Amino acid sequence: MRSVRERESVGFAAARFFMMKNAEISAVGEVVVLQTDIVWQDREANLAVVGAMLEEARPGWGALVVLPEMALSGFSMDPERSADDGSGVRALGELARRYGVTMVAGVARWREDGAANEAVVLGPDGEEMGSYRKLHPFSPPGEGLVWRAGERIELFRWGGFTVAPFVCYDLRFPEIFRAAAAAGADCFVVVANWPSRRTHHWSLLLRARAVENQAVVIGVNRSGTDPAFLYEGASAVIDEQGAVLAEAGAGVEVVRAVVDHEAVVAWREAFPALRDRREVAALRVGNRME
């Protein structure tokens, strides 16, 4: 990770910035969401799908392109067959370089301390800017027994935005979003393999995270099936007041939206809910009323 700068403690953990070299600062940015039907444990097939979708979408230079969680393998509990050895991330970096975009992709990969489920950030130069490791493994299928949990919130700059990436089940834990917002985040990216039986939770929680943190939220789910689940997409881009700017259906789809950093700044200034918050750690819990 290059150009890393430590931030102050934000309650849950210290947040880190990883900065893109020579990043152009712009108030308005294009978001391109690739809602894919992930081919089960087939890296090359999934890279081909991503490449074809990018070729058709032709995102503008400097756009933010986002792929689902475990985009090269599907939500697998078998690291030996699904964890990337580095070649998949390099191939995604080449696609980011070819189209001149910043890319956030969910990737299962091998790390020095074992296999991890991460959101990897790639710059327009094709180089990895940094990565975020899922803080909350999904316990029902035993994800935490297979993939090592993260310990840190990570932030990166895209245009005028400070972006915090999260992964799937993390969406259910508002405290980490608030910690990221306290560290300066005004945009959240959530990459997911979120099953259809709980799609209504997905859509509701994405909007809740946007409203309570007065931030843009980009939620990217997959479509199709794997051996355990059915997925109905519903990827969405949501503005700082909870309005849905763009939303996908259930199938394979490219979703585009334009997000405005100045609108986020203006709303936070006009309605200062974040500024009015109190530190929960400083509050006392009273005795139960009888």
Answer yes or no: are the C-beta atoms of 248 and 51 closer than 8 Å: no
Catalytic residue among 30, 118, 143, 168: 168
Left, alpha or beta for 160 (phi > 0: left; psi -120 to 50: alpha)?
A: alpha
Q: What is the largest CA-CA distance in the chain?
A: 66
Please tell me whether residue 22 adopts helix, strand or coil conformation: coil
Residue appearing with tokens 């370089």: 97
* Catalytic hit among 30, 69, 118, 232: 69
- E strand segments, the chain: 4-9, 14-18, 28-35, 64-66, 102-111, 114-122, 128-133, 153-158, 161-167, 187-191, 216-220, 223-225, 230-232, 236-238, 244-247, 253-260
Any catalytic annotation for residue 69?
yes
- Residue 270's H or E segment, with its range, is helix 261-270
Pull the structure tokens for residue 78: 């078998």
User: Which residue of the set 30, 118, 134, 247 is catalytic?
Assistant: 134
Residue 269: φ, ψ to 5°: -75, -40
* Dist CA 203 CA 237 (whole Å): 10
Find the helix packing angle between 174-182 and 199-213, rounded to 10°.
30
For the question of residue 240 being annotated catalytic, the response is no
Dig out the tokens for 229 from the structure. 């689940």
What residues does 33 pair with on adjacent strands?
Answer: 66, 255
| Number of helices and strands in the chain (H, E) | 8, 16
134 has catalytic annotation? yes
Residues with catalytic annotation?
A: 69, 134, 168
